[in-house]
Structure 1
Amino acid sequence: MIEGYVNRESVTAGEVLTLHVSTDSDEFRVRFYRLGGELSFLAESEPFPGEFKAPPPHPDGGAPLASPAVGWDFPAYSFRTPEDWTPGIYLAHLIEGDESSARAAPLLDDTGIEGFAREFFVVRPRDPGRHGRILYKKSTYTRHAYNQSNNEGVSRTCNLYENPVYQEASDGEPRGHRLSLHRPGGVIDLAYWDAPFIAWLERCGYAVEYCTDLDLHEDPDLLAPYDLLLSVGHDEYWSEAMRDHVFAHVRSGGNVAFFSANTCWWRVHPVDGGSAFVSDTDHRVGQEYPHLPATDLWWPRPPEGVGSPENSLTGVSFRNGGMWPGDWPGDRPRAGYTVQHTDHWVFEGTGLRDGSDGGEPDALGAGTALIGYECDGAAFAYDGQGVARATGADGTPDSFLILGIYVLDPVNESFHDLKWGHWNCPEREPSRTGPRAATMGIHTAGGTVFAAGTTDWSVVCGLELDAGVVRVTRNVLDRLSHRATAVR
């Protein structure tokens, strides 16, 4: 058995990457790949001596559970990254055994990104912005929130959702569920949401650089060299500093494209030098579920939450969106977004009609699983012409223009049996702000912010499952990858 994690999920080209590895084999090697138009093999390390380190026990006991709240303290191994490595997201594949075992292990291809004995990391450029003016933020905090620390044949199921660890405020740390980033678990979400979109970006010739949530949290000047920030897939957990830095970027004329959903739902507090975080969520505390108040929920007013609705930045919120039943990624309707305002530049070249000519409006992404697995929306109402308009009742900016909508009907109100509808419950919001709908839209606040309103936009675009989604994505990237005043 072999498993591991990186000490920090980003490294500048030419710097040392530290891997923490536990194995019951006498030796192991690391193969390095880069995600691009295809998964490219780059290098294989010299053999390292293997050492086994048992995971820390869960405070509640019960093997094979292990603690998600503390670092696992696996032995450390160093690898200096070449200075000429291109900015991107890289994969480290851990190969256990002697040289003959390593030779027998085939190289990975695009079908082998997901799996155990793998870890990913970001390589950042030595001169930020020189390679490209688009910055892709990998949603690493969300990845860790769901990481169960499993391995082949071992189900530890310990994260923020299964067997979480809650702490009261002490020693300068806030109260909440505590989660360490120094845990193994393999690669899952990267293969589903990011890999196809990154491959598409590179096939199309977009020059992109990459960062992690921790990079954005720590560096208020991180976004300065870039014109466009990308949030992709499932981007649920944000620190206050992350939000502040993106707000400042937009106010200064920078742009953001949220090809994501369930975005910025929970606030996190990084601790232990950024190697862990605390978040007071509604997840289980002892026998209490849901745990309320969940004071790190962004939208409710204190003391029920933070009092800073996420849609003031994104334009949309999971509060007005929903999720689908079954195992992730779940089944769901394939009706797509009913489009409106198709004279907007976002729809240029799509040929989509909005019904203003007297016909039926078209649907973007119809026939694909575009809407979901989770989706965000804005409080809205229909005007006299049947056009959905944001009301602003939930904190959505006045300039937000709804470009596509899919009404979530019927809505399931049960907190414990969520199917259609929103991740919400009567305990949180007794009075509703209106119907729920997945919502695609755009607003300006100095720079321009585009919101796809769905986690799986990157999958449909990356796999080129719908020509309209692909063209809208290109329109957004082409327009917003250059700062401009009054982009609308």
Structure 2
Amino acid sequence: MGTELNRRWESGTHAHSVSDPFGQGPLPWLRSPDQYLAGTEGDVPWYVSVDAPGQRPLAGGVRGKPPVGTPLSANDEEQQIKGFASAGVVRPGGSVDLRVTVNPPREFTVDVYRIGHYAGDGAHHMTSSPLIAGMAQPAPMVAGRTVSCHHWWHTWRLQIPPHWRPGAYVAVLTTADMLHRSHIPFTVRDFEDQTRAAELLLVVPDVTWQAYNLFPEDGRSGASLYHAWDGGLLVGETEAAVTVSFDRPHATAGLPLHVGHAYDFIRWAERYGYDLSYATATDLHAGLVDASRHKALVFPGHDEYWSEPMRRAVEGARDGGTSLVFLSANTMYWRVELSPGPSGEPNRMLNCRKRQKVRSDNPAAGAPGAASALWRDAGEPEQHLLGLQYSGRVATPVPLVARHTAHWFWAGTGLHEGDGLPGLVAGEADRYYPKVALPGNTERVLLAHSPYQDPAGRTRYQETSLYRAPSGAYVFASGTFAWSPALNRPGLTDERIQRATANLLDRLCKNG
């Protein structure tokens, strides 16, 4: 993204979230009259797929049209209503504090949804707040390129009833005049529940979400690890932030870029009854995840930024017999550090210098002597864990070409050697690098080998990997952005990917 792209709506965050079908994903509370399909019996919301088996609305489940005056998404220039969740692990029986700014000050409400299948609805409404008096919070603090709202006042405390299930939740903020709306994602965990341990632990990539967060997307002060606003110009990576804060809203609609990847997997997995617990990448970093309690750790979406404690925890999980499932591409690419926020809360600052020069005592400095913040430059290529690693961007979606289709992974899909699954190589892609060492394994197979064109027009190859570690743990890496959307995204669902993923998870859950 060059400096000539200097208008808010042309920035990387907003443009990508609009144009990338693998980004936000269907959100059932975002409805307007033009998002309904005509010519159907009753009106079918846009997030319900009418062409994927099992995704059709239940008989008699006709939904009415949305009310007149559907709120617009708040923007980061005026910040009509924006917010974020304070630090802390959210548990059933606990609470989560929301910090919200409303400009101009007026009352607002909070509706809380839990992401899941819910007979095709995609989410379930859990509770609504009373009218809350909104206030205009102080302007975000800016130090260099780092933007933080840690000084905002606490606005509302959401008590989490003990009977609420762990999961991915979204607080939907709506001004009382129904003019503007924004969102706050948060995760409810169950680490302290020693009475049961779910077979699968889903790890939400909150660290990567913050790396992409350009809040405030206002043309003046917003910065991410990719871009920064400077005098009305959007500058690129060499001038972007090296430290970003978790204590701020997400840009534009308040939802992270690529959040849809996680939501797609959750909806599909809960529909078919997979036993899930939930954690965040920050929890993994903080040592809160006991991988030995689970059959597998599932990384459902774009998970690009990893600290050393995250990597060591996952390597230890694999070596201890817990399987790993990576359902996206470009995983564990950048090496990062997490540090305390200005108020002392741990792990509220994300530090990564990428290719910039910083002082050696800066938390973003990374591994001593490394040319950049890439794990590869620190001497630990991601292939050592994943079995493959990031290759590049995909210019236009192309088929994923199945290989070794006699393998149990592809059983029941009907695929033959060399068959293509349309559009399944998209966004970014991974491949096996022959000159990079492989992890120790007792068996290994490449399940796809797919040609694609990169943005420069060069032919490259995507691959999908599965290997078994000496501990008996399996490690699967899809090598493409499009895998999770193929599980449950309207218009992108592929039954063969659904079946293959079920083959994998069933083996992990039933056979260990």
Paired residue for 1:196, among 234, 244, 264? 264
Paired residue for 2:438, among 390, 396, 413? 396
Aligned to 1:426: none
**Separation in 2 of the partners of 1:309 and 1:258?**
16
The change in CA–CA distance for 1:251 and 1:131 in structure 2 (over 3 A counts) is closer
**Separation in 2 of the partners of 1:191 and 1:155?**
25
Name the % identity. Answer: 29
Matched, 1:182 2:247: yes
**CA displacement 1:412-471 (0-9 Å, x = unmatched):** xxxxxx5456xxxxxxxxxxxxx8421101112221101101122000122362222111
Aligned to 1:334: 398
TM-score by length of 2: 0.71
**Separation in 1 of the partners of 2:457 and 2:507?**
34
Write the letter of the residue equivalent to 2:244: L
| Cα offset, 1:231, TM superposition | 0.8
Paired residue for 1:130, among 186, 196, 202? 196
| Cα offset, 1:146, TM superposition | 0.7
The change in CA–CA distance for 1:231 and 1:16 in structure 2 (over 3 A counts) is same
Paired residue for 2:426, among 372, 379, 382? 372
Write the letter of the residue equivalent to 1:36: G
The change in CA–CA distance for 1:473 and 1:96 in structure 2 (over 3 A counts) is same
The change in CA–CA distance for 1:190 and 1:407 in structure 2 (over 3 A counts) is closer
Matched, 1:39 2:107: no
Paired residue for 1:324, among 394, 399, 402? 394
8 Å contact 1:10–1:121 — kept in the other structure? no
Matched residue count: 393
Aligned to 2:108: 28
Write the letter of the residue equivalent to 2:431: G
The change in CA–CA distance for 1:477 and 1:189 in structure 2 (over 3 A counts) is farther
| Cα offset, 1:10, TM superposition | 4.2
Aligned to 1:384: none
**Separation in 1 of the partners of 2:219 and 2:108?**
20
Secondary structure of the structure 2 residue equivalent to 1:397: coil
The change in CA–CA distance for 1:228 and 1:317 in structure 2 (over 3 A counts) is same
8 Å contact 1:129–1:209 — kept in the other structure? no
**Separation in 2 of the partners of 1:157 and 1:116?**
20
Matched, 1:160 2:225: yes
Matched, 1:362 2:419: yes
Matched, 1:53 2:137: yes
**CA displacement 1:312-347 (0-9 Å, x = unmatched):** 1111111xx21135xxxxxx13222x2222221111
**Separation in 2 of the partners of 1:209 and 1:129?**
13
Secondary structure of the structure 1 residue equivalent to 2:422: coil
Secondary structure of the structure 1 residue equivalent to 2:274: coil
Q: Which moved more, 1:398-407 or 1:271-280?
A: 398-407
Secondary structure of the structure 2 residue equivalent to 1:396: coil
Q: Which moved more, 1:267-276 or 1:195-204?
A: 195-204
| Cα offset, 1:163, TM superposition | 1.5
8 Å contact 1:324–1:374 — kept in the other structure? yes
The change in CA–CA distance for 1:29 and 1:449 in structure 2 (over 3 A counts) is same
**Separation in 2 of the partners of 1:367 and 1:340?**
15
Aligned to 1:108: none
**Separation in 2 of the partners of 1:482 and 1:199?**
21
**CA displacement 1:137-192 (0-9 Å, x = unmatched):** 111111111111146x8785421111289xxxxxxxxxx81110111120143553
**CA displacement 1:331-384 (0-9 Å, x = unmatched):** x13222x22222211111112222xxxxxx222xx222x1121111112xxxxx
**Separation in 2 of the partners of 1:233 and 1:155?**
30
The change in CA–CA distance for 1:79 and 1:471 in structure 2 (over 3 A counts) is same
**Separation in 2 of the partners of 1:155 and 1:193?**
30
8 Å contact 1:282–1:293 — kept in the other structure? no
The change in CA–CA distance for 1:141 and 1:221 in structure 2 (over 3 A counts) is closer
**CA displacement 1:230-272 (0-9 Å, x = unmatched):** 1112110011111111111111111011001110001111101
Paired residue for 2:376, among 296, 299, 306? 299
Map 1:23-422; keep pairs closer than 5 Å: 23-24=102-103, 25-37=105-117, 38-56=122-140, 58-59=142-143, 67-76=145-154, 77-97=156-176, 101=177, 117-125=182-190, 126-127=192-193, 130=196, 132-150=198-216, 157-163=222-228, 177-185=242-250, 186-189=254-257, 191-219=259-287, 221-272=289-340, 273-282=346-355, 294-300=371-377, 306-318=378-390, 321-325=391-395, 332-336=396-400, 338-354=401-417, 361-363=418-420, 366-368=421-423, 370-379=424-433, 391=434, 393-397=435-439, 399=441, 400-409=444-453, 418-419=455-456
**Separation in 1 of the partners of 2:449 and 2:316?**
29
8 Å contact 2:169–2:186 — kept in the other structure? yes
Write the letter of the residue equivalent to 1:143: W
**Aligned CA-pair RMSD:** 2.8
**Separation in 2 of the partners of 1:164 and 1:154?**
6
Structure 2 unmatched runs, 5+: 1-79, 231-240, 341-345, 359-368
Aligned to 2:468: 444
TM-score by length of 1: 0.74
Aligned to 1:469: 497
Secondary structure of the structure 1 residue equivalent to 2:416: coil
Write the letter of the residue equivalent to 1:406: S
The change in CA–CA distance for 1:59 and 1:17 in structure 2 (over 3 A counts) is closer
**Separation in 2 of the partners of 1:375 and 1:243?**
21
Secondary structure of the structure 2 residue equivalent to 1:481: helix
